[in-house]
Amino acid sequence: MPDCGVVQMQSRFRSDRGLTVRMTVTLFLLGLLYVAFVAALIVLLKSWLLVVVLIAAMFVAQFWFSDRIALFAMRGRVVEREEYPELHAVVDRLCALSDMPKPVVAVSDMDMPNAFATGRNPQNAVVCVTTGLLRRLEPAELEGVLAHELSHVAHKDVAVITVASFLGVIAGLIVRFAFYSQVFGGGRRDQNTAAVFAAVMGVSAAVYALSFLLIRALSRYRELAADRAAALLTGRPSALASALAKVSGDIARIPTKDLRTAQAFNAFYFTPAIGREPGIERFFSTHPSLAQRLDQLGRISDELGEAATPGKAG
């Protein structure tokens, strides 16, 4: 077995040209939006140094520490082989199969069955699963989920989503700051200051809305790409289909109040932390519908000559 810790030039996860094109276009459009946003803030706030320094500092913090932030928010902790030998064995096997460096392995003590990957590149990646997922899945199903998460790392779409989401986070924070400043301090400001705050709030809201739509469109496609790559790598799309059906069904039974904290990280999850399949809001969802994902895995199963019936682990 090759050493998973050795950095390889390219993994054996099948490349996805459609995903690459979408990531490139999304980053280009968000880059233009980012420049326009910074320019607007400089004009409105009349302090280019303050704007550039603050946004640059927050970008560096999010990009370099995104893995730690995500683990902290979801109560994840790094686990060694001695504590979770079977989990490490599956990750080792997939690393060898895909010829990619082994990520840090973490576990989150949550009943919600889910998993996510984060990190700025394959050499600095983290794959985290919840204890709820480990309790519910068979070994073949767990392998399919972990292959899905590792494909996000191999395709580098985790880093792209991290960078892309930064602009929306900043715009959202500014909207909140401007709103609460107006609510609690509006009486102490003159009309010019109020006009500047209103303009900043308007620009930030527009930027947030545009970045929100761009990220959601990319996120839905990258989930289908990860399902496809994982199914082809393991050769068992039925196992991944079974895991999807099982996890989605169990999440639907978890009280909504227990899902609210997790929903902020839906773009990174294997399956979104929502209690039901979305209706019209599916156009703003981070994930394609369960039916779309199962339908794709069914087609791949037909191509490989394997029966991908949800409920069978293969």
148 is known to lie in a ligand binding site:
yes
Enter the DSSP assignment of 103. P
In the annotation, is 80 catalytic?
A: no
∠110-160-265 over CA atoms, to 5°? 25
80 is known to lie in a ligand binding site:
no
Strands 104-108 and 125-130: parallel
Q: Where are the alpha helices (DSSP H) in 186-289?
A: 191-234, 237-252, 256-263
152 is known to lie in a ligand binding site:
yes
* Residue type, position 188, single letter: R
Look up residue 95 and give its two tokens: 């690393």
Nearest to 268 by CA among 133, 158, 177: 158
* Residue type, position 197, single letter: F
Look up residue 273 and give its two tokens: 């932390």
* Catalytically annotated residue among 149, 277, 281, 303: 149
Bin 156: left if φ > 0, else alpha if -120 < ψ < 50, else beta: left
Annotated binding site for Zn(2+): 148, 152, 223
Active site residues: 149
Annotated binding site: 148, 152, 223
